[in-house]
Structure 1
Amino acid sequence: MAKSGRYKVKFRRRREGKTDYYKRRIMVMSGKPRLVVRFSNRYVTAQVVVSAPQGDFTVAQASSRELAKKFGWLGGTGNTSAAYLVGLLVGYRALAKGVKLVVLDIGLHRATAGGRLFAVVKGAVDAGLEVPHGEDVLPDDDRVSGEHIAQYASNLKQSNPDLYKARFSKYLAKGLEPENIVKHFEEVKAKIMGKYAKEEKAKAEES
């Protein structure tokens, strides 16, 4: 069987669809911290990572898994609203560690304008973190707050109550009526902002 010395086996993480080494090299060579955004079937995770010769170091991290435990979030943990709140969290935490500017690392995700990926960016930017981006890629405030969910739930509740209960069973089981998600989102957002505002005030008083 003929063999060619030109063929090279791709790195394991590239074969597994986890890392685009070409893009990663460009970002690492920039010398800037990376905002790494990843999605699983249920959760959204964001990390601010600094690259060094010894390897990558995580400076700040946030996950939608902690939204319910620490801030009382009752909505979905993988939707656009949760993605925004995760971005807000990681933004505040990065700033607390002295990081002010990051570049977005989307891995192998497809960059879809207005999607969850850019909801994370919007949250980080609203926290005060600088993330280079085009303004047209960010979801609008109504989308982020879950206005589309609230409208759909309200209409469905009137037209088909049984389907409403089935479609939003997880929300209702947690005690959240989906048509009230916008108000709930604003409450959780205020909790996050309030927490880090208090921490900043405490640091300022100590100094």
Structure 2
Amino acid sequence: MKNVYSKRRTVPLRRKREGKTDYKLRLGLLKSGVPRLVIRKSNAHTSAQIIAYEPQGDKVLVSAHSRELKKLGYTQSTSNTPAAYLVGALIAKRAQEKGVTEAVADFGLQVLPKGGKLYAVLKGAIDAGLQVPVDEEVLPAQERISGEHIAHEKAQDTRSEFEKVKGTLL
């Protein structure tokens, strides 16, 4: 005989169900009252946005994408650690122009390896003057940021090009 008295089940929120949003983490970030530095990566690019909460919906204050590095004279790959660092420096520069001086990091549900590209964006933003609370231990080493770990694979001088673009941003 079938059980007539079954538990009612609450359907979770759509974005939680799809594995896109951690609402507990989001609430904690929003309670701080500080804009979020949202960092996302794909196989080919890295993007960063500074987003402020508003009751009508979140508002993007500034954004930067690794495709924009080509306009600054960076001809190397846009998916590596030096490019991620430059994206962080670029968004910090734009944030200061808009009057944003501090942010809190929001990585979403991404996996965060110590010293990875996502932390390189944070390091670039911090070096360019944006105040972001982060443990220094997880940030990438200077050799990785400047591209020394990939310099042997390229015929071009990645370090000098990186330093040239970094000088324009900082």
Q: Does the TM-score normalized on the shorter chain lie above 0.5?
A: yes
> Where does structure 2 lack aligned partners over 5 or more consecutive residues?
none
1:129 aligns to 2:130 (yes or no)? yes
The Cα shift of 1:188 comes to 1.4
User: Are residues 1:4 and 2:36 paired?
Assistant: no
The equivalent of 1:181 in structure 2 is 158
Greater relative CO, 1 or 2 (CA 8 Å, sep 6+): 2
Identical-residue share of aligned pairs (%) = 49
In structure 2, distance between residues paired with 1:183 and 1:111? 28
Structure having the higher helix fraction is: 1
- Counterpart of 1:100? 101
1:148 Cα deviation from its structure 2 partner = 0.6
8 Å CA contact 1:71–1:192 kept in 2: the answer is no
SS of 2:164's partner is helix
C-alpha displacement at 1:73, in angstroms? 1.2
TM-superposed CA distance for 1:4, in Å, is 2.8
Name the CA distance, whole Å, in 1 between partners of 2:100 and 2:126: 13
| Alpha-carbon distance, 1:12 to partner | 2.2
Secondary structure at the residue paired with 2:58? strand
Question: 2:38 touches 2:51 (CA, 8 Å); kept in 1?
Answer: yes
Using the TM superposition, give the Cα deviation of residue 51 of structure 1 relative to its aligned residue in structure 2, in angstroms: 0.3
- 2:67 is aligned to 65
| Runs of 4+ with deviation above 6 angstroms | none
The TM-score normalised by the length of structure 1 is: 0.76
Report the 3-state secondary structure (helix = DSSP H, G, I; strand = E; otherwise coil) of the residue aligned with 1:185: helix
Partners in 2 of 1:126 and 1:98 — Cα distance? 17
Preserved contact between residue 101 and residue 130 of structure 1 (Cα < 8 Å): yes
| Partner in structure 2 of residue 35 of structure 1 | 37
Aligned length in residues: 167
**Pairwise CA distance, 1:22:** 1.1
Pairing 1:49–2:40 present: no
Tell which deviates more after alignment, 38-47 or 8-17: 8-17
* Structure 1 alignment gaps of length 5 or more: 154-167, 169-176, 194-207
Contact residue 93 and residue 169 of structure 2 kept, 8 A = no
Which of the residues 192, 199, 207 maps onto 2:169? Answer: 192
| Residue aligned with 1:55, SS | coil
Give secondary structure in 1 for the equivalent of 2:105.
Answer: strand
